[in-house]
């Protein structure tokens, strides 16, 4: 049997020193600004599905011991991946990079049946950390395909979640990337057609895509329940509230985090004069503060709160010390850990069974 060369995904936290302009220099460049405040969006940060996936890897390392292999990034956040790497997690792109018989965790974004089968072919032990809300969409795809529906999957081609959902029923699924593609997509039977979506999309853009699709295909059916997850919806609603009041919105999140990137777009679409995404506080450019009196701050659903606090601390250095949290929803969703981990925890007498996005510090 041919052996493959392992290529791990190594993502270290960038902590590059830089020479900043001083708070006095920024204040001098903004002589008309007399009040500086921060609007901190809530909800923000970790959702229940992300928390569940991260804890699944932490518990696997604790009870199985390192190394624990993880297919793709467990969640789309550089800090989280780097922290887990430091504890013994090894991130790989495909199952073929995992030694036969070893333990591999599937990421929160979900995998296709082909990936599950390739793991079985290599006799890998698996822990499925797919977010339950993504699993719901997978099950919808399977059910509607069995009932001879054609599926229009609204999402970004190449995103891991879309690849996983598409893989459930590739023969009858067409990916629609954006509203413009809704105007040209071709279907075989417009009278037996349903749309599903990636869970982390812009709510407004998705609805615009659906509107255009339904204009062409009046019998297009909706999924049984909204596919866009509660956390994505809540974070976008929060940023819509603070964006009109903000001269600048800073979104903490990684470039490959779909929901973080969408938050920047939503902020700009709803009144923010400027909006930028950063992974870490040291990526914030103090020049952004010139002429700014109000800064909105939020974070994507895979971002730990410590990274937001670092941004707020940096803002305080530049005079933005008046911090108000603007809450638009309360989140109390809790998901059980993957069944493979629950069994291991029971054996070890570890009573931690379920975790939610804001239930853990």
What positions carry a catalytic annotation?
161
What is the distance between the alpha carbons of residues 204 and 266, in angstroms, rounded to a whole number?
9
79 labelled binding-site residue:
no
159 labelled binding-site residue:
yes
197 labelled binding-site residue:
no
What is the distance between the alpha carbons of residues 146 and 23, in angstroms, rounded to a whole number?
62
156 labelled binding-site residue:
no
Alpha helices in 256-338 (DSSP H): 258-269, 305-317
225 labelled binding-site residue:
no
Give, for 37, the enclosing helix (H) or strand (E).
strand 37-42
Q: Which of 177, 178, 183 is nearest to 162 (CA)?
A: 177
259 labelled binding-site residue:
yes
Task: Provide the β-strand partners of residue 194.
Answer: 151, 221
For residue 94 the two structure tokens come to: 């495909």
Q: Which of 100, 106, 165 is nearest to 138 (CA)?
A: 165
Q: Are 240 and 56 in contact (CB under 8 A)?
A: no
258 labelled binding-site residue:
yes
Question: CA 104, 344, 48 angle in degrees (round to 5)?
Answer: 70
Strands of 275-278's sheet, edge to edge? 275-278, 248-252, 294-299, 37-42, 322-327
For residue 209 the two structure tokens come to: 């895509």
Strands of 125-128's sheet, edge to edge? 89-92, 68-71, 103-106, 125-128
What is the distance between the alpha carbons of residues 297 and 242, in angstroms, rounded to a whole number?
9
What is the distance between the alpha carbons of residues 57 and 87, in angstroms, rounded to a whole number?
10
What is the distance between the alpha carbons of residues 213 and 215, in angstroms, rounded to a whole number?
5
321 labelled binding-site residue:
no
123 labelled binding-site residue:
no
**Strands 322-327 and 68-71, how do they pair?**
unpaired
For residue 100 the two structure tokens come to: 């036969």
358 labelled binding-site residue:
no
What is the distance between the alpha carbons of residues 151 and 119, in angstroms, rounded to a whole number?
27
In the annotated binding site for isopentenyl diphosphate, the residues are 76, 109, 159, 257-259, 302
In the annotated binding site, the residues are 47, 76, 109, 131, 159, 199, 229, 257-259, 302
In the annotated binding site for dimethylallyl diphosphate, the residues are 76, 109, 159, 257-259, 302
């Amino acid at each position: 049997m041919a052996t493959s060369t392992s290529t791990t995904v190594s993502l270290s936290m960038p902590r590059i020193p830089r020479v900043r302009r001083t708070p006095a220099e920024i204040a001098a460049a903004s002589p008309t600004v007399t009040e500086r405040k921060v609007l901190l969006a809530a909800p923000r940060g970790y959702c229940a599905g992300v928390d569940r996936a991260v804890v699944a890897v932490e518990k696997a390392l604790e009870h199985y011991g390192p190394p624990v292999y993880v297919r793709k990034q467990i969640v789309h956040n550089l800090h989280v991946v780097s922290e887990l790497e430091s504890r013994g997690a090894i991130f790989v792109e495909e199952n073929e990079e995992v030694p036969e018989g070893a333990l591999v965790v599937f990421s929160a974004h979900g995998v296709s049946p082909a990936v599950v089968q390739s793991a079985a072919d290599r006799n890998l032990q698996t822990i499925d950390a797919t977010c339950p809300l993504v699993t719901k969409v997978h099950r919808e795809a399977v059910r509607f395909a069995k009932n001879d529906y054609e599926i229009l999957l609204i999402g970004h081609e190449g995103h891991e979640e879309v690849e996983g959902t598409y893989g459930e029923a590739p023969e009858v699924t067409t990916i629609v990337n954006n509203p413009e593609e809704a105007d040209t997509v071709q279907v075989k039977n417009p009278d037996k057609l349903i749309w599903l979506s990636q869970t982390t999309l812009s709510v407004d853009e998705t609805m615009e895509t659906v509107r255009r699709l339904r204009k062409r295909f009046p019998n297009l059916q909706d999924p049984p329940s909204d596919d866009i997850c509660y956390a994505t919806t809540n974070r976008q609603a929060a940023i819509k509230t603070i964006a009109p009041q903000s001269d600048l919105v800073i979104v903490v999140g990684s470039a490959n985090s779909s929901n973080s990137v969408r938050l920047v777009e939503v902020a700009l679409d709803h009144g923010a004069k400027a909006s930028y995404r950063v992974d870490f506080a040291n990526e914030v450019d103090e020049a952004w503060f010139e002429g700014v009196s109000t800064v909105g701050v939020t974070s994507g659903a895979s971002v730990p709160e410590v990274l937001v606090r670092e941004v707020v601390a940096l803002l305080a250095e530049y005079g933005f010390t008046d911090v108000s949290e603007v809450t638009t929803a309360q989140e109390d969703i809790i998901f059980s850990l993957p069944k493979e981990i629950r069994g291991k925890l029971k054996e070890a007498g570890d009573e931690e069974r379920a975790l939610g996005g804001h239930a853990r510090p």
